[in-house]
Amino acid sequence: MKISRDLMGMPITIEIIGYSKKTIEKSYKKLEHINQLYSPYISTSELSKFWSQDQVISEMSKEFRLIYDECIKYEKLTGGYFSPFFEKRYNPTGFVKGWAIDQVSQIIEKDGYYDYCINLSGDMKFSSSGDKIWRVSIQNPFDKNKSVAVLALRNGAIATSGNYERGEHIKNPKDPNAISDIAGVTIVGEDIIKADVLATAIYAMGLSKAKKFLDKEQDYQALIIDKKVNIYQTSDCFVLV
């Protein structure tokens, strides 16, 4: 069963092999709950209250503190190219997207389903308990009607990053005026949270630094398209078309 909706300002599709409307509805309720807590556009969200009331992290909820700690961990891992701070203000929305997908996957598996796909605006988590293979087309950032590669996998996560869909919304935290020479990046790995963070960081750091960084992150594979339409890939799991 597959159900698509718009939530968190993004299109979301949840597909579970086998009829499970109840589980899908629970999943969407969880996503709505996350949006109500962490959206910077909702005045009653915990994030908005954190800003308006000048609170400190230690005064926030356990989950809020956990997300903060995870963001700091990934900021260190990426050498500062992923950061939850923008203009010195804490904003974890770049982390929450992957975290939300992971939360939904836990709901689905708790209900006993292990063949599913969660797609939140191009960031995806897949699970297959048997022979089911999920196939994904990687969009050409210069032509949305074309693909540059196809990926097939049973289990894992895919995250994409680039400014071709939503404009210049990704900034280099170390140099906000820097312009990346990357047009689009796709990361494949086991964990959707880490894949999502890495996709953002690699776009921000640019191709030269990204290549060196990926040499150390061999559990996560990348396909990068630069602005000269050159393609760089770390694995043949991406089948170019």
The pLDDT score that the predictor gives to residue 88 is 84
Percent of the chain with pLDDT over 90: 76
pLDDT higher for 20 or 39?
A: 39
> How far, in Å, are 52, 79, 232 from residue 221 at the CA level?
40, 19, 11
Write out pLDDT tens, residues 172-206.
898 888 889 999 999 999 999 999 999 999 999 99
Burial class of 215 by CB neighbour count within 10 A (0 to 12, 13 to 18, 19+): exposed
pLDDT confidence tier of residue 168, bands split at 50, 70 and 90: low
Write out pLDDT tens, residues 101-118.
999 999 999 999 999 999
What structural domains does the chain harbor? Answer: 2-240 (3.10.520.10)
> CA-to-CA distance for 63 and 94, rounded, in angstroms?
16
- pTM attached to this predicted model: 0.93
Write out pLDDT tens, residues 9-32.
789 999 999 877 899 999 999 999
Nearest CA to 233 out of 157, 163, 159, 149 is that of 149
